Amino acid sequence: MRPLAEIVAGWPMALALATAVAAQGVRNGRRRSSLNEALHELRRPLQAVALASGPRSVAGGRDDPIELAAAALARLDREINGGETVPARGSLDARSLAQAAVGRWRARADLAGASLELRWNAGAATVEGDRVALSQALDNLIVNAIEHGGPTIVLAARRRAGRLRIVIVDSGIARRPPPRRTSARVLAFAGRGRRGHGLAVVRRVASDHGGRFAFSRSKAGALAAIELPLAEDASGAAA
């Protein structure tokens, strides 16, 4: 048994440690409360936008940006308050996903003085996965090229050894024209100069779908490539 003097001598350190842990808990509690308040306030304008936009349109096969925003909001809620993620997986037409992503961001590319083109050379291509997550991955790659790349941006796709390879390439920052005056509303959602988060999202999504992600940049431009396994039909051949 330890001498009483040693036990008594250890109390100040234990008390200091307990105080520090309690203080950290209070700070974490306050931060969580602040994050939940911000989450609450973010829901309100998104609800208003959803109501103002009317019923969800599926014209042209485009995924609704409101739906993508709602999915991101739900993930943020889970990160703050806990809860399990239940991805909605199924068979997806990859070409429709790509067309929708290009359609969502053509106006943003135009504001940046850039062109955004789809070159699909993969034929009918079906992948198994979470439509929202894959749409978010494509969005991140396209916006990364618009904001940090050259003025000519191409999303291209082809098959390779039972996999679908989607690449987003740009023509290089050296050829970028002077920026146009961007809408204050667009700038309000552009972040504060943070880098790397979008590519991290793409890497995670690719991994979650049994795929790969690679990114390279040079003076000639950047190339981002995501490879996904193609779904198989009943005979076991790639669809």
Domain membership of residue 235 (yes or no) is no
Assess whether 59 and 75 both reside in one domain: yes
Mean pLDDT of each 10-residue bin along the chain, 239 residues long: 45 49 60 76 72 56 68 78 75 95 91 92 95 92 90 96 96 70 63 70 94 91 95 55
Per-residue model confidence as pLDDT tens digits over 136-167: 999 999 999 998 888 999 999 999 999 999 99
Assess whether 70 and 104 both reside in one domain: no
Assess whether 99 and 183 both reside in one domain: yes
- Cβ-Cβ contacts under 8 Å for 127 (sequence gap 6 or more): 91, 92, 94, 134, 164, 209, 228, 229, 230, 231
Residue-level pLDDT at 205: 94
From the list 127, 74, 122, 118, the residue with the least C-alpha distance to 100 is 118
User: Number of structural domains, the chain?
Assistant: 2
Residue-level pLDDT at 65: 77
3-state DSSP call for residue 85? coil
Residue-level pLDDT at 78: 78
Strands (E), 54-151: 89-93, 115-121, 126-130
Residue-level pLDDT at 22: 53
Mark which of 52, 81, 110 sits at the end of a domain: 81
Distances (CA, A) of 231 to 54, 59, 91, 120, 196: 34, 25, 8, 18, 30
Residue-level pLDDT at 70: 77
Assess whether 147 and 214 both reside in one domain: yes
- As a whole number of angstroms, the distance between CA 239 and CA 230 comes to 7
Residue-level pLDDT at 206: 96
Which residues partner with 116 through β-bridges? 153
Query: Which two tokens mark 168?
Result: 């987003």
- Cβ-Cβ contacts under 8 Å for 173 (sequence gap 6 or more): 148, 149, 150, 221
Given the structure tokens 């940006």, which residue do they identify? 65
Residue-level pLDDT at 59: 38
As a 3-state breakdown, the chain gives helix, strand, coil percent values, each rounded to 5, of 55, 20, 25
Domain boundaries, position 96: 89-229
Assess whether 70 and 93 both reside in one domain: no
Mark which of 81, 114, 149 sits at the end of a domain: 81
Assess whether 10 and 77 both reside in one domain: yes
Residue-level pLDDT at 187: 61
